[in-house]
Amino acid sequence: MSFRDYFALTKPKIVPLLLMAALGSSVVASRTVPPFSVLVGVLVGGALASAGALALNSYLEMGLDAKMKRTMARPLPSGKIVPPHQALALGLGLVALGLIVAFLTVNIVATSFIALGAFVYVPVYTVFLKPRTSWNIVLGGFAGSCAALAGWYAVSPSNAIVGWILGALVFVWTPTHFWSLAVITEQDYSTVGIPMLPSEIGPKAASRYIVANTLLLIPVSLLFSFYIAGLGLIVYLAVAVIFDAFLLGTNLKLLKTPNKANALLAFKFSSPYLAIIFLAAMVAALLPA
């Protein structure tokens, strides 16, 4: 075993996206660079808690991961971390440390949203929803919304509707992103009996849901424009409209020809989409009205 194996337990490709949502919300809420304590709370505390929740997910799903081609080489199913309960200890320790850091640096509301994100992702999504319903990722997507809400409330409770719009953006983006991946890996989920939507209804029908979800995502992404004005509004609308159009275009291509190549294209484009929209929101908030 090595540090790399333990680091892989935390699914490090996911954490930066959650941090972008948290940072983006805090910058928009403050209309400037947030105080250092806020940055520590939402970035360090949030990163630790998120990494811990993802490590717990790795521990709880190691039996399923061992049966799926996409995941069987991960550290736990491949036997690189022995005994496995070390992953459990790591996950619990990181979540606890993250919440302590947040509690010491930001307010209790922001800390509570960080805790809620971990709770929704582990017991609610991983343990309860994922093995029981094909709508698992829709409901479980609120875990990501909590990062945006933590970033907002770490700065101020005022204009909270904007923070919830940013949280809704993460919530609605999640199914578009994950269902595209699930089209590629539908056989894996069918093998282990996990009712992901594409494995339950097939790629063609799932692609319709992906398009429908993106058509819901687009107006949500544009709601933020009502909060800004001037040059910031122009910048944000330009970025949002362009990337909304490209995202919808990849989804429509998948709908027309629902194969793994088009699903991979849709997935790869949706991956940076959320970070780009939050980056545009930050820039817009920092520009003069």
Task: Report CA torsion sign: 148, 149, 153, 156.
Answer: positive
Alpha-carbon distance of 206 to 224, in angstroms, equals: 28
Question: What does the block give as tokens for 223?
Answer: 């709601």
| CATH number of the structural domain 1-158 | 1.10.357.140
CA distances from 136 to 12, 140, 272 (A): 22, 6, 22
Each residue's pLDDT tens digit, 232-280: 999 999 999 999 999 999 999 999 999 999 999 999 999 999 999 999 9
What is the per-residue pLDDT for 124?
A: 97
- Residue ranges of the chain whose pLDDT lies below 70: 1
Q: Quickly list H helices, the chain.
A: 3-9, 15-30, 36-39, 46-60, 62-65, 85-105, 108-119, 136-140, 142-153, 160-184, 186-192, 197-201, 203-223, 230-256, 260-286
DSSP code for 98: H
Alpha-carbon distance of 94 to 53, in angstroms, equals: 8
What is the per-residue pLDDT for 188?
A: 87
What is the per-residue pLDDT for 288?
A: 85
What is the per-residue pLDDT for 198?
A: 93
Alpha-carbon distance of 140 to 136, in angstroms, equals: 6
Each residue's pLDDT tens digit, 165-182: 999 999 999 999 999 999
What is the per-residue pLDDT for 1?
A: 59
Q: Which long-range contacts (CB under 8 A, 24 or more apart) does 245-250 make?
A: 247/176, 247/214, 247/217, 247/273, 248/211, 248/214, 248/215, 248/218
What is the per-residue pLDDT for 225?
A: 93
Domain boundaries of the chain, sorted by first residue: 1-158, 160-289
